[in-house]
Chain A
């Protein structure tokens, strides 16, 4: 049986400190939607990676920008859409790092978006009305 989807929106500004609000928001969402703890861990990680990228590299000026994070639960699937008005950037096009390199050849960093792609079932990007939209989907599991 298909239930009506549930929706929640979290609005943050382009400051790293906002990540702690994401954590609190997810704790509340986990309780309300009965999300399993390992799943919440994954979602927290993915959101931190995506938002950190937007906050640190997405904007060409220092002025305040809002980033909307919309959560939709349809049956056993969670979909998260992140909207920002930064410059056009499609993270799905980023080349994956080579995770088989030995220690001395391993570059420092560059794992964030790779983790997002590996953890989520689906990662899609759209550019609409001067906004980046990153849509992340994952099955909630049991």
Chain B
């Protein structure tokens, strides 16, 4: 898993490449929490390069969404691949997350 962070307008775009599974979910959580603790209140998680997620990864997505909501911030997802989208649908995550087709759409208010 690789994570890169860039700024776009008032949003911080966090791009994930690779897998989020039981072996690296904690590492992923730490990286995203660092971004939040750094003061970013509008985050787009670009999932274009995310090709695998298990319940350990979903768990972190939910922790982050709850935290951002509590902080009155924004946490948006973009470019979710079909296989991952299916897991989101099964888990009921598609109805609680703000999901956008691409980064451009996600960065509009």
Q: How far is the CA of A109 from the CA of B61 in the complex (A)?
A: 10
By a CB distance below 8 angstroms, the chain B residues around A87 are: none
List chain B residues, Cβ under 8 A from A48: 21-22, 54
CB-defined interface of B54-77 with A at 8 Å, one 1/0 digit per residue?
111011001101100100000000
Contacts between chains A and B (CB distance < 8 A), count? 62
Query: A16-B22, A48-B21, A111-B59 in contact; A102/B87 too (CB < 8 A)?
Result: no
The answer, yes or no, to whether A57 is at the interface (CB within 8 Å) is: no
Provide the B21-39 mask, 1 if CB < 8 A to any CB of A, else 0: 1110000000000000000
With a cutoff of 8 Å between Cβ atoms, the chain A residues found around residue B52 in the complex are 41, 44-45
Question: For the side of the interface on B, what is the size category?
Answer: 20 to 34
Could you tell me the distance between the alpha carbons of A100 and B22 in the complex, rounded to whole angstroms?
25
Interface size for A (C-beta < 8 A) is 26
Contact A109-B55, Cβ < 8 Å, known A99-B91, A99-B92: yes
Closest B residue, CB atoms, query A22 = B21
The 7 closest A-B pairs by CB, nearest first: A99-B92, A112-B55, A111-B55, A48-B54, A103-B96, A118-B90, A41-B83
